[in-house]
């Protein structure tokens, strides 16, 4: 057994935080590099943990392999579903604690973590619990005396590498469908936010999953993550994070031609036509970039506004930003809208982009600096009159920073919206129904929001075009992503 440490959360919840690695339903010591977990509201150390070494990764993969070949594959699908339901109910029971851990570790507001991330996670587990026994293949006639049937079989051992922006929810999106399909898992949480994932091991054991079905190995990306992605006995790698890391994971996964799902970066546009409901457009454009401190892969970080309403939009958008800027602070405070960025590295990176934006001549309408002297808080920053060649328009910033510019024609804005290597999401604001759907078709993105932003739902495919990723998560699509098809050809005749 490894040690646990006592955590007193800011909302006076106390709990025992497990450390080490969760393998075969037990917490065992790790042998890899150490890393420190910080509280982003005050830059104070929460704990220094030891990450998974390459040998630890081997051990976790071996446990997952044994589980896959053992009891787990013998289990009837309906029983697999029942276990996932049980897990969902444990998440519901511990919703407040898990939300508090994520809020503490990541800096997001407790109310978002509780009512957003954790509620969504509960629903994702319930959705896939119900799906476990509804995964079916097809029967296809192949000739007068021949037929073939197709079985959807699990892939085997799935490596899952998740980011820090939605620590528990990203776990839910990946673990739930993989389990429903009958796979076993080695999960690597982000080094910035490993606490809720480590705690999740307790729930796996309590729900009664056989040992080795879910293994959790915190650690550094370039050591534990890389070893997992390269591993010859891992059948799939699913990843959410930056496009650069996605690219490197794809190379690692080439070792044994792993099945891959990559959900990477974005630079998603919002398009506001002059026939939009302006107040609604301002509201959604604002939340589309400022929610979760701008740390959302689908953040709509470029806003294009039709020239006739440009000035009015800027006035209203700035007023909205000013109003929300009064709600920056302690994530556990009920009124807080914006907490700190997740880490010092992200804080510095985002401030670097803000400097870059100023140097490139964009007009600052709000913010433009850090907020306060403690922790990783940044003022919500609004740049106007940006041009397509600016770095702040081209690159993913992943912070509360938006680039606004104007357009005059539909063709012009579609060209600008698509002029990016990314293709994750886009938002379109117009009251004209035909225009909305026409533009939605022309946008090169995996998701389009009409008169809205940031939508996702566990029943709907999530993922990107172009360099925003490969494959889709959620909904029925994730069941395809975690199974493979076996065709069985049957001959009923006697002729060759
Ligand atoms: P990252 O993509 O490097 O990290 C995400 C996960 O990948 C973490 O668990 C990390 O340990 C792991 N990882 C890192 N290098 C790896 C490797 N070589 N092999 C296997 N696993 C590896 O992202 P990072 O450095 O935390 O953030 C940098 C930028 O990435 C952000 O500024 C943002 O632009 C983007 N990002 C996008 C996210 C999204 O939701 N699409 C989430 C987090 C970050
Ligand atoms: Mg942290």
CA 149 to the chain's CA centroid: 35
In sequence order, which residues have a C-beta less than 8 Å from that of residue 426 and are 6 or more positions away?
Answer: 268, 269, 270, 271, 300, 417, 440, 443, 445, 447, 448, 449
**Ligand index nearest the alpha carbon of residue 350:** 1
Distance 422 CA to ligand 1 centre (A): 16
Q: Are 364 and 358 in contact (CB under 8 A)?
A: yes
Looking from the CA of 470 toward its CB, the CA atoms found within 13 Å total 14
Among 3.40.309.10, 3.40.50.150, 3.40.50.10490, 3.90.1150.10, name the CATH number for the domain at 269-457: 3.40.309.10
Prediction pTM value: 0.98
2 pLDDT higher than 80? no
Which residue stretches of 276-427 are H helix? 278-290, 310-324, 344-359, 391-394, 410-418
Distance 163 CA to ligand 1 centre (A): 6
> Apex CA 161: angle with CA 270 and CA 461, to 5°?
45
Known active-site residue 263: yes
> Apex CA 392: angle with CA 386 and CA 397, to 5°?
145
Cα-Cα-Cα-Cα torsion 171, 174, 179, 185, nearest 10 degrees, comes to: -80
483 pLDDT higher than 80? yes
Q: For position 343, what pLDDT does the model report?
A: 98
What are the pocket residues of ligand 1 if the criterion is a CB atom closer than 6 Å to any ligand atom? 161-165, 188, 190-191, 221-222, 225-226, 229, 240-242, 245, 248-249, 263-265, 297, 346, 349, 396, 398
Reported confidence tier of residue 488, pLDDT bands at 50, 70, 90: very high
**Ligand index nearest the alpha carbon of residue 243:** 1
Q: Are 390 and 403 in contact (CB under 8 A)?
A: yes
Reported confidence tier of residue 495, pLDDT bands at 50, 70, 90: confident
Ligand 1 closest atom vs CA 349: 32
Which residues, by Cβ under 5 Å, contact ligand 2, an ion?
Answer: 38, 105, 192
Which residue has its alpha carbon closest to ligand 1 atom 4? 241
- Neighbour tally for 63: CB within 10 Å: 25
Q: For position 290, what pLDDT does the model report?
A: 98
Assigned fold of 4-264+469-485:
Aldehyde Dehydrogenase; Chain A, domain 1 (3.40.605)
pLDDT per residue over 8-43, tens digit each?
A: 999 999 999 999 999 999 999 999 999 999 999 999
What SS3 class is residue 134? Answer: helix
CA distances to 6, 264, 345, 456, 469 from 422, rounded to whole Å, are: 43, 9, 23, 18, 9
Which residue has its alpha carbon closest to ligand 1 atom 15? 221
CA distances to 54, 189, 202 from 31, rounded to whole Å, are: 9, 16, 21
Q: Which two tokens stand for residue 147?
A: 């037929």
3 pLDDT higher than 90? no
Which one of the listed residues 120, 191, 263, 396 is annotated catalytic? 263
**Ligand index nearest the alpha carbon of residue 265:** 1
Q: Which two tokens stand for residue 67?
A: 């589980």
Q: For position 1, what pLDDT does the model report?
A: 54
Task: Please provide the distance, in angstroms rounded to a whole number, between the alpha carbons at the two ends of the chain.
Answer: 62
pLDDT per residue over 286-335, tens digit each?
A: 999 999 999 999 999 999 999 999 999 999 999 999 999 999 999 999 99
User: Domains of the chain: which residue ranges?
Assistant: 4-264+469-485, 269-457
């Amino acid at each position: 057994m490894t040690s646990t440490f006592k955590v007193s959360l800011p909302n006076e919840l106390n709990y025992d935080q497990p450390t080490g690695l969760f393998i075969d339903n037990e917490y065992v010591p790790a042998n890899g590099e150490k890393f420190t977990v910080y509280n982003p509201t005050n830059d104070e150390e929460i704990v220094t943990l030891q990450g998974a070494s390459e040998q630890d990764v081997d051990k976790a993969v071996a446990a997952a392999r044994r589980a896959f070949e053992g009891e787990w594959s013998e289990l009837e699908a309906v029983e697999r579903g029942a276990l996932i339901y049980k897990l969902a109910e444990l998440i519901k029971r511990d919703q407040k604690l898990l939300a508090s851990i994520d809020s503490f570790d990541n800096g997001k507001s407790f109310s978002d973590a509780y009512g957003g991330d954790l509620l969504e996670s509960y629903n994702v587990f319930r959705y896939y619990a119900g799906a476990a026994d509804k995964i079916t293949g097809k029967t296809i006639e192949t000739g007068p005396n021949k037929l073939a049937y197709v079985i959807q079989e699990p892939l085997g051992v799935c490596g899952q590498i998740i980011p820090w922006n939605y620590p528990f929810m990203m776990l839910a999106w990946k673990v739930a469908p993989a389990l429903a399909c009958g796979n076993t898992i080695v999960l690597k949480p982000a080094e910035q936010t490993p606490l809720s994932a480590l705690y999740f091991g307790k729930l796996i054991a309590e729900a009664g999953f056989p040992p080795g079905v879910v293994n959790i190995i915190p650690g550094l990306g370039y050591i534990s993550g890389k070893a997992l992605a390269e591993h010859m006995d891992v059948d799939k790698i699913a990843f959410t994070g930056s496009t650069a890391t996605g690219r490197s994971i794809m190379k690692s996964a080439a070792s044994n031609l792993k099945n891959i799902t990559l959900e990477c970066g974005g630079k998603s546009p919002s398009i506001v036509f002059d026939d939009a409901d302006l107040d609604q457009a301002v509201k959604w454009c604002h939340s589309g970039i400022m929610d979760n401190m701008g740390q959302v892969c689908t953040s709509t970080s470029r806003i294009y506004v039709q020239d006739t309403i440009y000035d009015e939009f800027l006035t209203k958008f700035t007023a909205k930003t000013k109003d929300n800027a009064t709600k920056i602070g302690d994530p556990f405070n009920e009124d807080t809208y914006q907490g700190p960025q997740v880490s010092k590295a992200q804080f510095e990176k985002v401030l670097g982009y803000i400097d870059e934006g100023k140097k490139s001549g964009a007009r600052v309408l709000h913010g433009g600096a850090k907020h306060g002297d403690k922790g990783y808080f940044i003022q919500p920053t609004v740049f106007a009159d940006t041009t397509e060649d600016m770095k702040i328009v081209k690159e993913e910033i992943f912070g509360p920073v938006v680039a606004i510019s104007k357009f005059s024609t539909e063709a012009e804005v579609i060209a600008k919206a698509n002029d990016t290597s990314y293709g994750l999401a886009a938002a379109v604001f117009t009251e004209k129904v035909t225009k909305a759907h026409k533009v939605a078709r022309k946008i090169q993105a995996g998701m389009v929001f009409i008169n809205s932003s940031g939508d996702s739902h566990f029943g709907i495919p999530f993922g990107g075009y172009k360099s925003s990723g490969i494959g889709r998560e959620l909904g029925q699509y994730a069941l395809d992503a975690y199974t493979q098809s076996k065709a069985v050809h049957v001959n009923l005749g006697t002729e060759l």
